[in-house]
Structure 1
């Protein structure tokens, strides 16, 4: 599906600017709530903890301002059945602006329509009918990894078949959630056979399954007869985040792709900051353990040996450098302050050399906003300081988590 900015009648609302109009302007992120429904009780009363969450972004749907115009005390509830992801939308407002040629309320359903699951419900009784026939035991795909939860739940990562018509219908419903959480998200073309899709399910003791996240991978052609997998979308429901589930999902996906005989290095399409943290930790931990098991002394900082391991594990060149830096940083912390200073000086020198090699009109200098530096004329020291500080800071989180994980063993 193409990425369109659908603003309803927001352009018209710009003609209605005065103090009274403030009552009719609502930030969509504040008035929209998602709810997961397992039983009729989940439809009633205020949102329940662990079964409801708010969106993080809405600019693809409501435009850059993310505002909805024309309603007082607006509440939009999006209910999703926990297994099938069938949807019901309930829009409530205490009042609507009197309409004329200059002022019109946004058509909420029309604006949301392209971004909601097909055949979504607007009548509660119809949705209750869907709930009555909900099959709580469905789990799509073949299980490739299982791991325990914090209490009596079990989690299963599955490899799904995009050619399965029932899975297609389900995925097309579930994936509608990502536009609220992934910037620039698009719905994938399931007709393209190069897509691979993984899901993670929560299994309750009563054998009820709840899909709680997924990962899509696109397999590019790699000459002469291989593939280069690229992780495209990576999503875990907000109510299941910060439990280590994303880490387990990434590890399961990575290990599966790594073992494919025709697979080249594994890449990622525009990783978010959170995903990059997960990736850094998982890749670094995996390489650390393999180096340790193979008797390679990480503290010797033997670039050639470690790079061979990284190549063997199908980590792409850019990520390989990060993994090596994380392992070096870990070792430097262990060896004391002087070693850490030596390590950071090496990073700074490398970045300085990279900047020096590039011309004034290079991509790096044209993207100063990425590091928060805008200089005229170009100040190479400011660029170096910004890039250095940003990079070193980005290593600290995976290093600290890696150190904490190793301390448990």
Structure 2
């Protein structure tokens, strides 16, 4: 009876049984893994998956805190960016869109945050290849040509083509507050978001902003010509007390297809030439990337190698480092360029003090025999002495005090503590911290030497 009852209950349960499924939580997909951006110069290239694909810094930053897109299965986003008009079109495809517990990402809104009004529908985008075919020429042709150049160092500033037309590369300077220039820059802003780490748009209504364009001018036999934008740099004018100004390079970008051809260097040369011609106080760079700092150091070192007023100082230091032994006191005097050299370089070449100090070590290295172990030991000692005085000084008057950086959840470079000992006596804590700093200093010196050698080798190759 009991078994029957159980059997009956089981039958009823089986009859009522339902298949219950538990929905899997939507894990989302990283924007970097489902978005591709192609730079195109004609409508025929739109839709071709073998076009020039841009490698952006980080697309995840535009999609929430975790950088993920939610609610889509098999999502693929191909974005076509015109190198003619700098308008964009996004082709979005997916198998299905379902809220898996974290909502459905508004893709159109997210992409508009990147591209703004430059993001168009496909029909409108394709039309820009005809309606906006000369937009770069119509705007930039009104600017001031600062210099013409060739990407081939052995060629003249223009190259003849087989059809009788010729190519000329130029750097053109314009005021960013001009309405047409400001509108063109607004279309370039997405590229700064995608390709410059930490970039933010600038105020185009501020009259203190200038923009420098690197362009390719293609001129036919009939005299008609077109301009193709290769890159640009934005520069701001600051007031410097009492009656001067200083220039700050804010953004510099060469479009990916044209990188490695020397256009970034030409933009830097043009900005420096303006700084010298207008006799500004100096030229600085706003938070340069590692590569920009490398490029800038190569360029400035080349200029300094031919700058006669500092050659006696360089030769004097190099001569002392070639001696058999250099005392600690001598290292301290060799660690920095003389004050008159710093002032002369700033006045004549507009290279600020910090940048000159970077180049100074490279200039000294280029005047030494890098294969001589003793000379290199002396050179390393001089660098170590300067960095030691920059980071910490054992002979500081604040005896018994030590500044130590400590990590935090926000920005470890901005947090520090001060250790103080009683009656100026060194504690075990201070001794331990001092040892850690010395270890960090040694690593810093080794990294500095690696950078010096890398830039020196590049400079030597450019001069050969």
The 2-side partners of 1:129 and 1:103 are apart by 38
Instruction: Tell me the residue number matched to 2:128.
Output: 130
The 1-side partners of 2:69 and 2:119 are apart by 21
Instruction: Tell me the residue number matched to 2:38.
Output: 35
Unmatched runs of 5 consecutive residues or more in structure 2: 1-22, 160-166, 319-336, 414-428
| Cα 1:88/1:189, change in 2 over 3 Å | same
Counterpart secondary structure, 1:116: helix
The 1-side partners of 2:308 and 2:41 are apart by 46
TM-score normalised over the length of structure 1: 0.83
Instruction: Tell me the residue number matched to 1:98.
Output: 98
1:177-213 C-alpha deviation (Å, 9 max, x unpaired): 1111222211000111121211111234553322122
Instruction: Tell me the residue number matched to 2:174.
Output: 160
Counterpart secondary structure, 1:271: coil
The 2-side partners of 1:99 and 1:322 are apart by 54
1:10-25 matches, cutoff 5 A: 18=25, 21=26, 25=28
Instruction: Tell me the residue number matched to 1:393.
Output: 450
Q: Over the residues paired in the alignment, what is the CA RMSD in angstroms? A: 2.9
Counterpart secondary structure, 1:208: strand
The counterpart of 1:300, out of the listed 313, 316, 320, is 316
Q: Which has the larger radius of gyration?
A: 2
Instruction: Tell me the residue number matched to 1:365.
Output: 405
The counterpart of 1:223, out of the listed 241, 256, 276, is 241
| Cα 1:405/1:172, change in 2 over 3 Å | same
1:300-336 C-alpha deviation (Å, 9 max, x unpaired): 2383364344223121111111111110111124683
Counterpart secondary structure, 2:196: coil
Unmatched runs of 5 consecutive residues or more in structure 1: 1-15
The counterpart of 1:145, out of the listed 133, 144, 147, is 147
Task: Give, in angstroms, the shift of residue 121 of structure 1.
Answer: 0.6
Greater CA drift, 302-311 or 321-330 = 302-311
The counterpart of 2:376, out of the listed 326, 335, 340, is 340
The 1-side partners of 2:241 and 2:202 are apart by 24
The reply on whether 1:114 has 2:128 as its aligned counterpart is no
Equivalent residues of 2:212, 2:234 under 8 A apart: yes
| Cα 1:135/1:319, change in 2 over 3 Å | same
The 2-side partners of 1:164 and 1:131 are apart by 24
Equivalent residues of 1:60, 1:184 under 8 A apart: no
| Cα 1:393/1:365, change in 2 over 3 Å | farther
Equivalent residues of 1:197, 1:217 under 8 A apart: yes
1:203-218 matches, cutoff 5 A: 203-204=217-218, 207-218=225-236
1:202-243 C-alpha deviation (Å, 9 max, x unpaired): 234553322122111121110112112111111112222222
The 1-side partners of 2:230 and 2:242 are apart by 37
Instruction: Tell me the residue number matched to 2:89.
Output: 88
The 2-side partners of 1:73 and 1:218 are apart by 45
TM-score normalised over the length of structure 2: 0.74
1:54-92 C-alpha deviation (Å, 9 max, x unpaired): 312124412454322232333322223323212222222
Instruction: Tell me the residue number matched to 1:9.
Output: none
| Cα 1:346/1:296, change in 2 over 3 Å | closer
Counterpart secondary structure, 1:76: strand
The 2-side partners of 1:202 and 1:52 are apart by 21
Task: Give, in angstroms, the shift of residue 277 of structure 1.
Answer: 0.2
Q: Which stretches of structure 1, 4 residues or more, deviate above 4 A after TM superposition?
A: 150-153, 294-297, 358-362, 366-370
